Structure formats: C-alpha cells, structure tokens
Amino acid sequence: MGIVTKTGDQGTTGTLGGKRIPKSSSLIELNGQIDEVNASLGYLNSLIEEGKDFEKKQELMEFIRFIQNGLYNLGTEISSGFTIVRFNETHPALLEAKIDELTALMPPQTKFILFSGAKEATYAHVVRSVSRRCERQFVRYLLEENVDPFPQCYKFLNRLSDYLFTVARFLNQELGGEEIETSPWA
C-alpha cells in the first residue's frame, strides 16, 4: 500500500464510504485527535518498557496495546458513519474493571493531586489530557451529526481518561514517584 496518494492536495480526504470531505471537517479533526491519543499511548508504552520493572508491567503494556487497537477500531466506526460497529457494552465495562483492579492495589486517594512523579506517570497524565480533548471533539461531532444515543465507542473513550488517571497513580506507586497533593494559595 502506497503512502503518497496526492488525492488530498486540494485539502480534501476520503472516508471509508468513499466520500471526499474537507480536511478541516469535524470528522477529520476527530480522527486526527484519535490518532494523537494512539501515538501518545505508544510513547507511554515505550517509557514503561524502558523503565524499571514491576510486577504488572507486561500486563499493563499489553492492555495499552489492546486500547491502541481499540482506538483504531474507534476510528473505523466513526469513519464508516457507524455502519461498521466494533464496540459493545463489554468494552467500556472492561476499562471499568481495569480501573477497579488497579485502584484496589493502591491506597485511596483523599485529595486532589498535581500531575507529578515518575516520568511514566506524568506522561500518562499527558495522554489522559489528550484523550479528554479527543472526547470533547467526539461529543461535538456526535451532536453535529445528531447521533442519538451515543455509541458504545464513545463510552469507551469516556472511560479511557479515567483509566489513564488510574494508571498514572499506579505507575507512581510502582516506580516510586511522588504523588504531590494540591495546596491552596494563601
């Protein structure tokens, strides 16, 4: 498959359905943001792989790759106008289960925290914020297209940022990063 097609030289791109649309469209913005989340997850996995070992390291990395595949499938659903459906209620529920699993391994969070600590943890917070931005664009797109009810793939993306927050805390715990609590200004 060739990379250079030259079909976008006039500022349009093709959808899975074969339509040409402007690269500035809400759909293409959403797909670009999904791509950013996916690339950021790949970099997070690289940081984890290069870092210190901990008991759940391989399991965590494999689940991040699972999420990356999920994001590819998310893009497919969106680009097909939701005629191709790859998500069901088990996918957001799986993220919820992973959140609960990791949360059970940590002390309870009682205060707001600064996004700090080990580099892997702080980058997990960066990915979390990128996924939140992507989620906001997804809502914009769904409202523009009058998609109701919101699809399961949206619910998966909504749970992703919660999962990444939990991963950041877990990484700090496992890698010895300091979780700094916020403090009010005097």
Angle CA 146–151–153, to nearest 5 = 130
Distance CA 41, CA 61 (A): 10
Query: Is pLDDT above 80 for 7?
Result: no
Give the confidence band of 10 by pLDDT, cuts at 50, 70, 90. low
Distance CA 130, CA 40 (A): 8
Query: Is pLDDT above 90 for 14?
Result: no
Six-digit token pair at 29? 């913005």
Distance CA 123, CA 118 (A): 9
Distance CA 173, CA 176 (A): 5
Going by the DSSP 8-state scheme, the letter that residue 21 receives in this structure is: E
DSSP 78-129: HHTTTSS----THHHHHHHHHHHHHHTTSPPP-S-B-S-SSHHHHHHHHHHH
Distance of CA 63 to the CA centre of its chain: 12
The domains of the chain, with CATH numbers, are 22-175 (1.20.1200.10)
Residue tagged 């469209």 (tokens): 25
What is the pTM for the complete model shown?
Answer: 0.92
For 43-85, write each residue's pLDDT tens digit.
999 999 999 999 999 999 999 999 999 999 999 999 999 999 9
For 104-122, write each residue's pLDDT tens digit.
999 999 999 999 999 999 9
Give the confidence band of 124 by pLDDT, cuts at 50, 70, 90. very high
Cβ neighbours of residue 173 under 8 Å, at least 6 residues apart?
Answer: 105, 106, 179
What is the overall mean pLDDT for the chain?
93
